Amino acid sequence: MPDCPMSPVPRDPATHRPYLQEALRLAREAQAAGSAPVGAVLVNAAGEVIARGRNRVGEAQTPEHVGAASVAHAEMDVFFSVGKVQDAATLTLYTSLEPCLMCGGAAALLEVGRVVWATDDPWGGSGRLIKWSEHPAMQDTEVVPCPDPELEAEGARLFAPEAKRAFPEEGWALWRQRYPAETAGVE
């Protein structure tokens, strides 16, 4: 898929790296707080992080963040914290894990220009359920999956215990198939 004309960040993997590292840092923060290890950042056309979010499903609700709710995913935390999205087509959403259908759909419906994730989610990721490029609501959102193999492996190792805990056996089997080295030894 070609770069969007108003894309804030080139497709060069090295350029994505600091934003994906920040998403992974937020994922570790979520894990330490008792939530699923997923983090996200929203970046504007100048390359500035305008919002940060992390999974908060396992945490209490606060005035600043939705918590203790099924919708308290990292990407939704970003969207709730930023409020009304301005110039959405020039924004890039970076996530540590491929967005689920709810979060991917929200990014597309908000008309975010690009979504980049560090690690595929072979069970719960939206790409398993829909083809972004073929869905009318999502075809204007550029998708850049796993541009950095080192960070992809890091994200897979981080999320693997959650995948084993949260997903049915079929989902865990897909994770083991997609990431055999990163899931080895996960009990």
Amino acid 5: pLDDT = 35
Q: Using an 8 Å Cβ cutoff, are 106 and 75 in contact?
A: yes
Query: Taking Cα atoms as reference points, which of 66, 108, 68, 75 lies closest to residue 94?
Result: 75
pLDDT digits over 166-185, tens only?
999 999 999 999 999 999 99
- Examine the pLDDT at 47 and tell me if it is beyond 60: yes
Q: Using an 8 Å Cβ cutoff, are 127 and 98 in contact?
A: yes
pLDDT digits over 59-82, tens only?
999 888 988 899 999 999 999 999
What is the rounded CA–CA span in Å between residue 79 and residue 103? 9
Give the up-direction half-sphere exposure of residue 80: CA atoms within 13 A in the CB hemisphere. Answer: 19
Q: Out of 22, 75, 142, 182, which one is annotated catalytic?
A: 75
Amino acid 2: pLDDT = 33
What is the rounded CA–CA span in Å between residue 64 and residue 117? 25
Is 134 assigned a catalytic role?
A: no
- Examine the pLDDT at 54 and tell me if it is beyond 90: yes
For a pLDDT cut of 90, what percent of the chain falls above it? 74
Cβ atoms within 10 Å, residue 6: 12
Which numeric CATH code is attached to 13-179?
A: 3.40.140.10
- Show me where the domains of the chain are located: 13-179
- Residue 39 has phi, psi (to 5 degrees) of -130, 160
Q: Using an 8 Å Cβ cutoff, are 172 and 140 in contact?
A: no
pLDDT digits over 32-43, tens only?
999 999 999 999
Three-class DSSP category at 123: coil
Across the chain, mean pLDDT equals: 90
Name 143's bridge partners. Answer: 115
Task: Give the pLDDT band (50/70/90) at residue 133.
Answer: confident
